[in-house]
Amino acid sequence: MSRLQVVSGKGGTGKTTVAAALALALATEGKRALLVEVEGRQGIAQLFETEALPYEERKIAVAPGGGEVYALAIDAERALLDYLQMFYKLGGAGRALKKLGAIDFATTIAPGLRDVLLTGKACEAVRRRDKQNRYAYDYVVMDAPPTGRITRFLNVNDEVAGLAKFGPIHNQAQAVMRVLKSPETAVHLVTLLEEMPVQETADGIAELRAAELPVGNVIVNMVRPHLLDEDALRTAAGERRTAVAKALSQAGLGGARRGGLAERLVDPLLEQAAEHAQRVELEREQRAVLARLDLATYELPLLGEGMDLAGLYRLAKELRTRLAPGGTS
């Protein structure tokens, strides 16, 4: 199991939720996982129903079995100042740079520097060891930018290393790239069983592979159960209308005669069934596309009541059972 788990996915597929559930799932048996947010949206705080996260690693959840999940919302500016302090002891000069607008320039305008800082901080957490020389975190899970930007985001250090051909930025970028391109890292893509997200997932995987970044799994989120099989759906059309009306009536939903309460339900119910059938067919096609990607695929159910903390723990449980058998190191 790679120690840096990067979770990306098209917007709206629930990658923050999946990242959080994954962190909970990995934090078993006393293990420690750090959940990292890089886009400043405070999605993790909202998910865990806590106040906005500061730029500091703090415990936000205890997993079943005693594991711990820490969370960190990385702020590029603070990360840069930290970095300056850590490597150059630039306390005063750091402040002067900030006053000049250099920090602002570096974190918002300078190409890629912001992404260097974000990935750099995550990799630092991966490599960090405590006094007993044990890893500070068993796993670091990153709620990463969306699929469309993930390759560029992770690969930024390569680009920067090319831009700054030597010097400290160059060295830092290279060190980060060594972690990101190693088996220590796995990049997962979250998708829905819909055409656009699946297409984006396929494109994203091709890009990641081309950039030699380690692709992990595809996680299909919000999978809805198929409540009717196809045979049933075919029968649903036409000639069974009267029989369905009778059955509805028998179940206590009103009269089966023309205009009766049960009879009036038949058309809308069959229409919903037809839509369902169409969706089932589309999902079948999308599953086939995903199968061709030749990657392990996990499915997570749609939680009917919407996402809340209880739902998050449920998803974590789902992920844990799936991770358990294949949990190679």
Partner 1 sequence: MTVSGTDTGTDSNTATSTGATTGDDAMAATPALDIDPLLDDPATRIIVCCGAGGVGKTTTAAALGVRAAERGRKVVVLTIDPARRLAQSMGIDELDNTPRRVKGIDETAGGELSAMMLDMKRTFDEIVEAHADAERARAILENPFYQSLSAGFAGTQEYMAMEKLGQLRARDEWDLIVVDTPPSRSALDFLDAPKRLGSFLDGKFIRVLMAPAKVGGRAGMKFLNVGMSMMTGTLSKLMGGQLLRDVQTFVAAMDTMFGGFRTRADATYRLLQAPGTAFLVVAAPERDALREAAYFVERLAAEEMPFAGLVLNRVHGSGAPQLSAERALAAAENLDEGGIVDQGAGNAGVRDSSAPSPTAEPTPDETSDSQGGSEGQSGTRTVEQLTAGLLRLHAERMHVLAREQRTRDRFTALHPEVAVTEVAALPGDVHDLAGLRAIADRLAAREAVEPVEYDRSDQPVG
Instruction: Please report, as residue ranges, which positions from 166 to 185 form the binding site for partner 1 (by CB under 8 A).
Output: 166-170
Q: In whole angstroms, how close is the CB of 120 to partner 1 at the nearest point? A: 14
Distances (CA, A) of 105 to 39, 76, 95, 97, 266: 18, 11, 14, 10, 63
Q: Which of residues 59-88 bind partner 1 (CB under 8 A)?
A: 84, 88
Q: How many CB atoms lie within 10 A of CB 120?
A: 23
Q: Is 204 in the site for partner 1 (CB under 8 A)?
A: no
Q: Is 200 in the site for partner 1 (CB under 8 A)?
A: yes
Candidate segments 64-72, 97-105, 210-218, 288-296, binder of partner 1 by CB under 8 A? 97-105
Residues in contact with partner 1, counted by CB under 8 A, come to a total of 99
Taking the mean position of all CA atoms in its chain, how far away is CA 69?
16
Q: Is 273 in the site for partner 1 (CB under 8 A)?
A: yes
Q: Is 194 in the site for partner 1 (CB under 8 A)?
A: yes
Rg over CA atoms, the chain: 25
d(CA 274, CA 1): 43
Q: Are strands 32-37 and 58-62 parallel, antiparallel or unpaired?
A: unpaired
Nearer to partner 1, 1 or 243 (CB): 243
Candidate segments 112-120, 126-134, 205-213, 315-323, binder of partner 1 by CB under 8 A? 112-120
Nearer to partner 1, 2 or 147 (CB): 147
Q: In this structure, what are the phi and psi dihedrals at residue 327, rounded to the nearest 5 degrees?
A: -75, 65
d(CA 97, CA 151): 30
Q: In whole angstroms, how close is the CB of 136 to partner 1 at the nearest point? A: 26
Candidate segments 120-128, 130-138, 143-151, 181-189, binder of partner 1 by CB under 8 A? 143-151
Single residue of 31, 181, 276, 317 touching partner 1 by CB under 8 A? 276
Q: Is 101 in the site for partner 1 (CB under 8 A)?
A: yes
Contacts of 181 (CB under 8 A, 6+ apart): 212, 213, 214
Q: Is 52 in the site for partner 1 (CB under 8 A)?
A: no
Nearer to partner 1, 110 or 186 (CB): 110
Q: In this structure, what are the phi and psi dihedrals at residue 4, rounded to the nearest 5 degrees?
A: -105, 115
Q: Is 156 in the site for partner 1 (CB under 8 A)?
A: yes
Nearer to partner 1, 108 or 182 (CB): 108
Single residue of 244, 290, 315, 319 touching partner 1 by CB under 8 A? 244
Q: In this structure, what are the phi and psi dihedrals at residue 285, rounded to the nearest 5 degrees?
A: -60, -45
Single residue of 31, 127, 240, 317 touching partner 1 by CB under 8 A? 240
Q: Could you write out the DSSP letters of every residue in 42-99? A: -HHHHHTT-SPP-SS-EEEEE-TTS-EEEEEE--HHHHHHHHHHHHH--HHHHHHHHH
For the chain, the straight-line distance linking the first and the last C-alpha, in angstroms and rounded, comes to 4
Q: Is 109 in the site for partner 1 (CB under 8 A)?
A: yes
Q: Is 256 in the site for partner 1 (CB under 8 A)?
A: yes
Q: Which amino acid is at 10?
A: K
Q: Is 268 in the site for partner 1 (CB under 8 A)?
A: yes
Candidate segments 25-33, 205-213, 244-252, 289-297, binder of partner 1 by CB under 8 A? 244-252
